[in-house]
Chain A
Amino acid sequence: MVRKFIQKRQVDRTSDTTQKDHTIVSGFKAGAQFDDRIDTAPEISHVESLRIVLRGFKWLKYVKVLFATRWAMRTVMIIPGLFLGWFAKIVIDHVILQVPLVADDVNFPPHMHWLLEILEGREPLNIALILLTIYVVGLVLIGTRAGGTGAGLYGGRDAASNAENAVSGNQGGAWTGSEAGGIWGITEWWVSVRLSQRFINRLRTDLFRRLIRAPMTRIDDQAVGDSLYRTLYDTPMVFTNITETVFSPFFIFVGLGLTFYQLWWTYSEASMLIIGLMALMIPITIFTTIAPSKWIRRMTQNQRAAGAATTNTLEETMNNISAVQSLGAMKTEKERFANRSAHAFWRARIAMFPWLGVGIILEIVGWPLGFYLAWHVTNMVIEGQLTVGDFGALFGMYMGLRGSFQGLGRLWLNVQDQAAAARRVFFFMDLVVDDEEHQPGNKLGPIEAGVQLENVGFKYPNGHEALKDINLELRIGEIVAIVGPTGCGKTSLAYLLPSFLKPTSGRVLVDDHDVMQIDLESLRRQTSYIFQEHLLLSESIRSNLSLANPDATEEDMVKALESASCMEFIEELPDGIDTVLGRSGDTLSVGQQQRLSIARGLVRNAKIMVLDEPTAALDPQTENLLVRSLRSEADDRLVVVIAHRLSTIRQADKIVFLDEGEVKEVGSHEELMSHEDGPYREFVNLQSSTQPA
């Protein structure tokens, strides 16, 4: 019935997944994956969720002092709770009802005795004045203790707003901010905001560090919006999780202990009854909270995946804005975004249901117990065993105890909720990064001989065999051209050199060292890969160049820019080399961007330089200049060029002709042209026939 009701709702939950074979059934059941292509098994067990909670504690070492300060300040705030109830009792019995106060006759716990001695025998008005003075001093120091200090953000709208609160707010159960007000509250709030921000900043940075070191070909499948969501909105939940598992039980148990102490000391008879009722609450709380914990975990997971999918749509559309506008797809994209956003909110609403259910059950059970207690205590007041003020104090303590037990129950649920978010963080922390697949520390010296490929094969995870049994020798000082039809594996072959791809069979040797056995960074530092797509940062030309080589002097930069024929257009830019590049074409044309990205590759001064179709966006004159300047610099380098144009190919010392992942021919232009039926010769003839004779 519940499902039928849910299915009738307006939000379309089936169209929003791009995952084949993963239709979203309903929030309670199927795990939604949306755009996840790497993190595809989000379900975790109870034990795993506990392990994830414990794992977050590792980051506490960066915030030791703040954490201890926060804990101590919070502990001090238990003290007002020891007095407020008893103040109320004095006001009711001795100010309003005007019963004379005699210290030995009244029923108070020991910590109140000093005050009773001050107040003994005074007029009701006098008593009220003294209590008021204490209260006003308290108000300035610690506030009213109601409300407390926080960032004033509202939680519960979606996972992202909850995350913002977890960083610097005080709503939605996050242990940031302070329970106190006044001077104490402001100080504690400051400490606690510093604590959460420093912790989360450290965790975010660590996650980001892992993300950018993940193998390029793998992490490319990860949607940018999802990485963004994990880094910004999932990390705060790890912090909340820690405070939840440390602070909550500590303060609940301290609170319980203090309440029992006060009860036992003052109302030994009635306290037995309250303790008995509380004992009844324990199994009920445990049962109600253990049962839905798996649902809560799953629904939080779904809610976050849906939130990330919204971010993805935004990222993808804005990133492809020229495609979207040129294809007139604005309406489609708007609807896609609206759908996903609505879906994410729907998931946030659905995720509240288990909480509501648990709350209702605990309320339903709690109230009859409260009524029974009220009836019993009223009888005792009528019989004269207790005063009217005692009724208030007792009932207040009962409510406090009940709250503590419910808090304990919610604690488990909170942990489940946060563990789902923390899992999303730790998943990418655990993803093997590039360096770890190699031998960190086993540094490669300056490359002297070159690269050798021994029976190298490469198969993509989807079974596509991109390269088959390749044997090649590429020496320093050579210009090597890789030639072949579209989709034949040219880029895959070139990707092997800086180890962007690792061979699935055979070995890649650099100076006779297997690349898998050396330190990856020491290899990458000596290689420069210029991509087909020019990926410039939206910063100045200078900072694009110094990203590639932080040690490059002005002279190095100008030389690289000259070799790539960039100087002619840079000289005309308003700020020259310091011109900031925009993303749109208003600064540079695509051809100019391409040349600049070649200059960026050149400024690295690397031993191995790979150019992946560098001349596609260049006109023939520019191309001639570039190839000539590469030629002149190739003496102590290995230059590998993937090319279609004959003019580029012919300048190579060695031409590697690839087809369907196999090396068909290797040799210089003249050598290969002399093979009567050679595939290269055929390729050249075809090419020439499409060019003017």
Chain B
Amino acid sequence: MSYIFQEHLLLAESIRSNLSLANPEATEKDMLRALEAASCMEFVQDLPDGIDTVLGRSGDTLSVGQQQRLSIARGLVRDAKVVILDEPTDALDPQTEILLVRALRSQADDRLVVVIAHRLSTIRQADKIVFLEEGKVKEVGDHDELMSREDGAYREFVRLQSSSEAT
């Protein structure tokens, strides 16, 4: 089980030790794969000490979006059967988000991935969508199923979301 929080909580240590905290048995290869899946490699490569760079608390090492991606990589390196992502894409720009969701998609074969999300682009890729309201499950199904319900709560949500997003 691996839970990735909305808030990125990294320890002020090296990137490597943040990853091995999550999985002490992770090999260099496992770590690189997780970093790649979370689109971290592009900025990790630019850091002076690469994966051994010690993270500062202030912004001079990583931006919030980069920290967020790193904390996703930390969740992935655990190689857990159940991965929960709590609004993982908040601090990511659209391109990065597409990459991450794609990476999750390709690794989901032998895993259960639970994503809490607002963005439609993320939601639409799910096999099963659970629509919650006031603590109760209103609807369950994939995007196309739920969209086909005339007065469905999910459909209403998507309509609202679309109207406030790009048109």
**Chain A residues with a Cβ under 8 A of chain B:** 18, 20, 35, 37, 216-218, 220-221, 223, 316, 319-320, 322-324, 326-329, 332-333, 460-462, 464, 485-487, 491-492, 495, 532-533, 590, 613, 616-617, 619-621, 623-624, 644-647, 684, 686-688, 690-692
Contact = CB atoms under 8 A, between A and B. Distances in A.
A688 B1 CA distance: 34
Nearest to B13: A18
A35 B87 CA distance: 32
Contacts of A619: 118, 161
Interface stretch (B29-37, B56-64, B105-113): B56-64
Interface in B43-101: 43, 48-49, 52, 54, 56-66, 69, 71, 74-75, 78, 87, 90-98
Contacts of A223: 12
A495 B95 CA distance: 25
A620 B65 contact: no
Contacts of B62: 487
A692 B123 CA distance: 11
A533 B7 contact: yes
B11 interface: yes
B140 interface: no
Given A613-B64, A690-B97, 10 more contacts: A223-B12, A322-B5, A322-B9, A486-B91, A491-B59, A492-B59, A590-B7, A623-B164, A647-B166, A686-B95
A533 to B, nearest CB: 6
Contact of A620 (B5, B52, B74, B164): B164
A322 B82 CA distance: 17
Which of A322, A329, A492 has the most CB atoms of chain B within a 10 A radius of its CB?
A: A329
Contacts of A18: 12-14, 54
B121 interface: yes
Contacts of A220: 56-59
Nearest to B95: A686
B89 to A, nearest CB: 9
Nearest to A323: B9
Contacts of A328: 22, 78
B95 A485 contact: yes
A316 B95 contact: no
A617 B90 contact: yes
Interface residues of B, number: 59
Given A327-B22, A647-B164, A691-B162, A218 B58 contact: yes
Contact of B91 (A216, A462, A616): A616
Contact of B57 (A221, A616, A646): A221
A495 B58 CA distance: 12
A532 B8 CA distance: 11
Nearest to A621: B160
A615 to B, nearest CB: 9
Contacts of A329: 21-22
A323 B5 contact: yes
B2 A486 contact: no
Contacts of B7: 533, 590
B151 interface: no
5 contacts: A221-B56, A326-B4, A487-B66, A620-B161, A621-B164
A314 B2 CA distance: 23
Contacts of B14: 18
B24 interface: yes
Contact of A485 (B6, B59, B69, B93): B93
Nearest to A644: B93
Contact of B94 (A323, A491, A690): A690
Contacts of A491: 59, 63-64
Contacts of A533: 7, 64
Contacts of B48: 462
A316 B11 contact: yes
A684 B21 CA distance: 38
B54 A20 contact: yes
A326 B95 CA distance: 28
B166 A316 contact: no
A327 B2 contact: yes
B158 interface: yes
B59 A692 contact: no
A38 B3 CA distance: 33
B11 A647 contact: no
A486 B3 contact: no
Nearest to A612: B64
B35 to A, nearest CB: 15
B65 A217 contact: no
Contact of B2 (A20, A326, A487, A646): A326
Which of A218, A621, A644 has the most CB atoms of chain B within a 10 A radius of its CB?
A: A644
A172 to B, nearest CB: 33
A328 B26 CA distance: 14
A217 B63 CA distance: 13
Given A320-B9, A460-B60, A692 B164 contact: no
Contacts of B78: 327-328
A688 B162 CA distance: 10
A611 B150 CA distance: 38
B144 interface: no
Contact of A486 (B60, B66, B118, B164): B66
Contacts of A326: 1-5
Nearest to B42: A487
A691 B121 contact: yes
Given A487-B43, A590-B87, A332 B21 contact: yes
Contact of B164 (A322, A327, A487, A624): A624
Contacts of B162: 691-692
Given A18-B54, A37-B56, A487 B95 contact: no
A230 B3 CA distance: 35
Nearest to A590: B6
Contact of B120 (A218, A462, A486, A691): A691
A356 to B, nearest CB: 36
Given A332-B24, A647-B166, A217 B92 contact: no
